[in-house]
């Protein structure tokens, strides 16, 4: 009866509607014995884990993407269908399916359960969120339900890990039945509208028999929505939440960022103490530690941003934000859901691009990823701050606006405006297609689960560190090499970087950048700036040979040197360059991962580069003409 | 008191009724149906015979709308909702 230990653990797939607590149940069943990867060739998350049954047997659990039906409408849903139909070479056929349903809204979930059941594989129904159903006075007759559905029904409360043992027992019983019987041929066809209607009739029949008490409707959801979706207050609340989120991203992250910076620095000092002075020490300290540190420092901001996104998603508010913003986003052909990823990109494009996964339509998602780098991320701020301090007079205009602040705002607005224009053009040209449907469920409000958010944050942190880290490690080594070799001659009069490859490249590309008003120093500084935008500040300091222990002192003297070195149009052109330039290789590493296309990533990079060049040139040329007039 | 059939996309907040047809019904002959829209509407629970009520509208433009149907709140654009005909409850 028992399986020998040598038999590989059977695969059990979790399926269900979105918002039925499927992932929470998966977390409850597997705990930390789970891993998240991608299905090869697509950017759909593959969440797999190990569960141990009360009898001590091991099961492999696969969390399939949530879907309303097997008829696929997004890459996520296609994966779900392919796995269920054994059509994927990289996933073995699941032996048993667990259909997860929301007990507070069984009527809604039952349709999909019937479709799953019709596949012919053994199905166990997990009736989740039983506690919430009870609170609302909903009573279901599980015996009748089992009799009508002809599958085992197990009540569960995923957030409290209740019912998981029984569920695993039932799964094991189903497995035993599978082993005893002949394998079934899995067939599925896209249901016609009339077949869908017939299934709803069947759902109504079963619900009528199995419902003992309908309970109360989720009145509070409606009451919250009356405020949150209010014709006037709706946007005010959205704006307030977003403002708070941004405030938090910058204010809360600061102490942690300082800590990481200090940590990286003392690690560098430690490393230079251990290693003998020479190229190896320099590679490690100035190259790797400084390079990786310059990206690592954004981790606190990214995590705080994701903390908010996950809370908003888990509570149900995110769907409302998409609902409120759909009309505005729709004007440039984007889905309401594009709003949050784009907003996140103001902190950093990397979490923004990662957050586009909630957009199911591929064309919409690509357009959103494409324009995310145009949102002014926080890494641009040090560069903006330096140039504005050096070149924009601290004057007051129109009575109370500071000119410096207005210029900063203008840079943000240019980015947003061109992002919208690019999206509109994309949706009219290479991403043209039928307007996607907005249709989405606005889930009942729930208290976010600490465990789910913890898992979510941990996952994001891992993705960021692994992906960004890998590329940054390599690029920072290359960029260090470019800036360090060949060495300056003994009797060098110029800063060492000018003798290096980076300096040579800077000199070589200077003629190309001359129409932008960029001299060789900017050209040289731009090269290490590809690792991370804010590195430009320190590389300018290197080029201008500004040396001081005190950071504030460096910046003050750099401001002075810049003022004498560059005319105003050059500075303005450099600011405009930074609005567009694709100077963050980590972003494009993530773009490659999420789009799974080198072509698309390359096109994105080139478009931004061309835009940076053209608009910086226009700024310089027009600025020069205006100033000489 | 006569009952009237209306398109869901033309209904206002607070109006409710029973769904009588989903997809290109007689009132929608002027507009070709988007591929797969009927199936999508049905999947979201907008099925003939179900009760539906418009609960919320997006600010300013009033589009999209949020309707309560089969125990769930579904957000959809008005032009999508126009493929659902509703026999409106009379006051």
Coil, helix or strand for A206?
Answer: helix
Contact present, A492 and A500 (Cβ < 8 Å): no
Q: How many whole angstroms separate alpha carbon A433 and alpha carbon A333?
A: 10
The arithmetic mean of pLDDT across residues A552-573, rounded, is: 82
Q: Which of A574, A587, A565, A566 has its CA nearest to residue A613?
A: A574
Q: How many whole angstroms separate alpha carbon A149 and alpha carbon A113?
A: 9
Task: State how many domains chain B has.
Answer: 1
Residue A159 confidence (pLDDT) = 85
Is the pLDDT at A491 greater than 50, yes or no?
yes
Instruction: Enumerate residues 388 to 447 of chain A having a beta carbon within 8 A of any beta carbon in chain B.
Output: 434, 437-444
Residue of A232, A437, A441 with shortest CB distance to B72: A441
Residue B1 confidence (pLDDT) = 47
Q: What is the mean pLDDT of chain A?
A: 85
Is the pLDDT at A547 greater than 50, yes or no?
yes
**Residue ranges for chain B with pLDDT beneath 50:** 1
First-to-last C-alpha distance (Å) of chain A:
93
Mutate: best of B25, B58, B78, B83, partner A, most A CBs <10 A: B58
Q: Which of A519, A485, A516 has its CA nearest to residue A502?
A: A485
Crossing angle of the two packed helices A450-463 and A22-30, in degrees rounded to 10: 80
Domain with residue B38: its CATH number is: 2.30.30.90
Task: Flag if B75 and A230 touch (Cβ within 8 Å).
Answer: no
Per-residue exposure over A243-271, b if at least 16 CB sit within 10 Å of its own CB, e if not = eebbeebeeebeeebeebeeebeeebeee
Is the pLDDT at A224 greater than 90, yes or no?
yes
Contact residues on chain A for B60, CB-CB shorter than 8 A = 231, 235, 327
Contact present, B84 and B20 (Cβ < 8 Å): no
Is the pLDDT at A470 greater than 80, yes or no?
no
Residue-range definition of the domain harbouring residue B81: 4-88
Residue of B38, B63, B75 with shortest CB distance to A440: B75
Task: Flag if B60 and A327 touch (Cβ within 8 Å).
Answer: yes
Contact residues on chain A for B74, CB-CB shorter than 8 A = 439-442
Q: Is the four-CA dihedral A524, A526, A532, A536 of positive or negative sign?
A: positive
Task: Flag if B38 and A108 touch (Cβ within 8 Å).
Answer: no
Contact present, A100 and A14 (Cβ < 8 Å): yes
Burial tier of A137 (Cβ tally within 10 Å: 0-12, 13-18, 19+): exposed
Q: Which of A281-290, A372-381, A483-492, A614-623 has the highest mean pLDDT?
A: A614-623
Strands, DSSP E only, in A69-215? 96-102, 123-128, 139-140, 153-155, 211-213
Is the pLDDT at A79 greater than 70, yes or no?
yes
Coil, helix or strand for A523?
Answer: helix
First-to-last C-alpha distance (Å) of chain B:
8
Residue A51 CB contacts under 8 Å (≥ 6 apart), including other chains: A12, A29, A30, A33, A58, A59, A61, A168
Which helix (H) or strand (E) covers residue B86, if one does?
strand B84-88
Task: Flag if A193 and B75 touch (Cβ within 8 Å).
Answer: no
Residue A455 confidence (pLDDT) = 85
- Measured in angstroms, the CA of B28 and the nearest CA of chain A are apart by 17
Task: Flag if A438 and B76 touch (Cβ within 8 Å).
Answer: yes
Share of chain A above pLDDT 70, in %: 93
pTM for the model stands at: 0.81
Is the pLDDT at A326 greater than 80, yes or no?
yes
What are the C-alpha distances in Å from A300 to residues A242, A296, A585? 18, 8, 19
Residue A610 confidence (pLDDT) = 95
Coil, helix or strand for A276?
Answer: coil
Interface of B with A (CB under 8 A): 22-23, 34-45, 47-50, 55-61, 63-64, 66, 68, 70-77, 80
What are the C-alpha distances in Å from A427 to residues A82, A91, A326, A507, B72? 29, 34, 16, 39, 32
Task: Flag if B73 and A221 touch (Cβ within 8 Å).
Answer: yes
Residue A113 confidence (pLDDT) = 94
On whether any CB of chain B is under 8 Å from the CB of A33, the answer is no
Contact present, A369 and A441 (Cβ < 8 Å): no
ipTM for this model = 0.92
Tell which wins on pLDDT, A541 or A202.
A202
Q: How many whole angstroms separate alpha carbon A624 and alpha carbon A530?
A: 27
On whether any CB of chain B is under 8 Å from the CB of A202, the answer is no
Task: Count CA atoms within 13 Å of residue B81 on its CB side.
Answer: 27
Instruction: Enumerate residues 40 to 69 of chain A having a beta carbon within 8 A of any beta carbon in chain B.
Output: 68-69
Residue A363 CB contacts under 8 Å (≥ 6 apart), including other chains: A427, A431, A433, A436
pLDDT band at A75 (very low <50, low <70, confident <90, very high): confident
Beta partners for residue A211, in sequence order: A140
Is the pLDDT at A11 greater than 80, yes or no?
yes
- Measured in angstroms, the CA of A129 and the nearest CA of chain B are apart by 15
- What's the pLDDT tens digit per position in A164-221? 999 999 999 999 988 888 777 788 888 888 999 999 999 999 999 999 888 887 788 9
Q: Is the four-CA dihedral A162, A165, A166, A167 of positive or negative sign?
A: positive
Query: What are the backbone dihedrals phi and psi of residue A43, each rounded to the nearest 5 degrees, phi first?
Result: -105, 35
Q: Is the four-CA dihedral B13, B14, B20, B26 of positive or negative sign?
A: negative
Coil, helix or strand for A186?
Answer: coil
- Measured in angstroms, the CA of B18 and the nearest CA of chain A are apart by 15
Mutate: best of B50, B61, B64, B69, partner A, most A CBs <10 A: B64
Residue A3 confidence (pLDDT) = 45
- What's the pLDDT tens digit per position in A98-135? 999 999 989 889 999 999 999 888 999 999 999 999 99
Residue A268 CB contacts under 8 Å (≥ 6 apart), including other chains: A285, A289, A290, A293
Which helix (H) or strand (E) covers residue A24, if one does?
helix A22-30
The alpha-helical segments, DSSP class H, found in A429-468 are 450-463
Instruction: Please report where in the chains the tokens 């980015």 appear, as a residue.
Output: A415
- What's the pLDDT tens digit per position in A437-462? 788 899 989 888 888 889 888 887 88
On whether any CB of chain B is under 8 Å from the CB of A221, the answer is yes
Is the pLDDT at A1 greater than 50, yes or no?
no
Task: Flag if A438 and B56 touch (Cβ within 8 Å).
Answer: no
On whether any CB of chain B is under 8 Å from the CB of A317, the answer is no
Residue A244 confidence (pLDDT) = 83
- What's the pLDDT tens digit per position in A260-305? 888 888 888 888 888 887 778 878 887 778 777 777 777 887 788 8
Tell which wins on pLDDT, A207 or A468.
A207
Beta partners for residue A396, in sequence order: A402
The arithmetic mean of pLDDT across residues A216-230, rounded, is: 88
Q: How many whole angstroms separate alpha carbon A87 and alpha carbon A423?
A: 35
Residue of B35, B64, B70 with shortest CB distance to A323: B64
Contact residues on chain A for B57, CB-CB shorter than 8 A = 229, 231
The arithmetic mean of pLDDT across residues A390-412, rounded, is: 80
């Amino acid at each position: 009866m028992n399986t020998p230990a040598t038999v590989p653990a059977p695969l059990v797939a979790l399926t269900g509607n979105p918002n039925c607590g499927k992932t929470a149940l998966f977390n409850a069943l597997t705990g930390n014995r789970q891993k998240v990867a991608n299905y090869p060739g697509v950017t759909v998350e593959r969440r797999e884990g190990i569960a141990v049954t009360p009898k001590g047997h091991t099961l492999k659990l696969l969390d399939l993407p949530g879907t309303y039906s097997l008829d696929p409408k997004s890459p996520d849903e296609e994966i779900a269908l392919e796995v269920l139909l054994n059509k994927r070479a990289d996933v073995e056929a699941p032996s048993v399916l667990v259909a997860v349903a929301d007990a507070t809204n069984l009527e809604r979930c039952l349709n999909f359960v019937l479709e799953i059941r019709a596949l012919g594989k053994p199905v166990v129904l997990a009736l989740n969120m039983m506690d919430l159903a009870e609170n609302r006075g909903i009573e279901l007759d599980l015996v009748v339900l089992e009799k009508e559905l002809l599958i085992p029904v197990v009540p569960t409360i995923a957030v409290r890990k209740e019912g998981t043992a029984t569920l695993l027992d039932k799964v094991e019983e189903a497995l035993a039945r599978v082993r005893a019987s002949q394998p079934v041929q899995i067939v599925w066809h896209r249901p016609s509208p009339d077949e869908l209607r017939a299934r709803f009739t069947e759902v109504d029949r079963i619900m009528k028999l199995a419902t003992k008490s309908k309970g109360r409707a989720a009145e509070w959801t409606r009451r919250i929505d009356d405020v949150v979706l209010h014709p006037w207050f709706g946007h005010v609340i959205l704006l307030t939440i977003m403002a708070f989120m941004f405030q938090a991203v910058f204010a809360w992250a600061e102490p942690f960022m300082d800590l990481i910076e200090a940590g990286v620095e003392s690690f560098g000092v430690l490393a230079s103490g251990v290693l003998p002075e020479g190229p190896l020490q320099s590679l490690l300290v100035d190259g790797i530690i400084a390079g990786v540190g310059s990206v690592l420092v954004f981790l606190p901001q990214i995590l705080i941003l994701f903390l908010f996104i996950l809370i908003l998603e888990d509570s149900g508010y995110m769907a409302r934000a998409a609902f409120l913003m759909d009309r505005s986003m729709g004007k440039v052909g984007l889905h309401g859901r594009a709003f949050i990823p784009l907003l996140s990109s103001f902190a950093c494009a990397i979490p923004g691009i990662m957050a586009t996964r909630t957009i199911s339509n591929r064309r919409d998602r690509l357009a959103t990823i494409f324009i995310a780098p145009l949102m002014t991320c926080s890494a641009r701020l040090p560069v903006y701050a330096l140039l504005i301090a050096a070149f924009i007079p601290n004057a007051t205009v129109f009575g109370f606006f500071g000119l410096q602040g207005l210029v900063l705002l203008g840079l943000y607005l240019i980015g947003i405006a061109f992002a919208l224009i690019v999206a509109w053009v994309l949706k009219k040209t290479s991403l043209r297609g039928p307007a996607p449907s907005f249709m989405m469920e606005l889930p009942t409000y729930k208290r976010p689960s600490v465990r789910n958010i913890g898992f979510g944050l941990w996952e994001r942190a891992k993705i960021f560190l692994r992906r960004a880290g890998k590329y940054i490690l390599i690029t920072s080594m290359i960029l260090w090499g470019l800036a360090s070799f060949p060495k300056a001659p003994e009797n060098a009069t110029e800063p060492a970087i000018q003798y290096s490859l980076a300096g040579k490249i800077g000199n070589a590309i200077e003629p190309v950048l001359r129409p932008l008003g960029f001299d060789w120093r900017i050209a040289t500084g731009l090269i290490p700036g590809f690792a991370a935008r804010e590195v430009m500040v320190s590389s300018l300091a290197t080029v201008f040979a500004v040396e001081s222990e005190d950071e504030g002192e460096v910046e003050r003297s750099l401001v002075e040197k810049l003022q004498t070195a560059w005319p105003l149009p050059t500075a303005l052109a450099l600011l405009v360059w930074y609005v567009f330039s694709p100077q963050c290789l980590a972003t494009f590493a993530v773009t490659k991962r999420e789009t799974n296309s080198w072509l698309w990533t390359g096109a994105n990079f080139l478009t931004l580069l061309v835009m940076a060049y053209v608009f910086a040139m226009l700024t310089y040329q027009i600025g020069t003409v205006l100033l000489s007039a | 008191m006569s009952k009237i059939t209306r398109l869901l996309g033309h209904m206002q907040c607070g109006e409710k009724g029973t769904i009588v047809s989903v997809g290109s019904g007689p009132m929608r002959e002027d507009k070709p149906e988007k591929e797969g829209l009927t199936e999508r509407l049905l999947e979201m629970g907008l099925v003939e015979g179900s009760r539906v009520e418009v609960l919320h509208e997006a600010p300013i433009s009033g589009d999209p709308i949020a309707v309560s149907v089969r125990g769930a709140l579904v957000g959809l654009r008005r032009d999508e909702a126009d493929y659902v005909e509703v026999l409106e409850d009379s006051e």
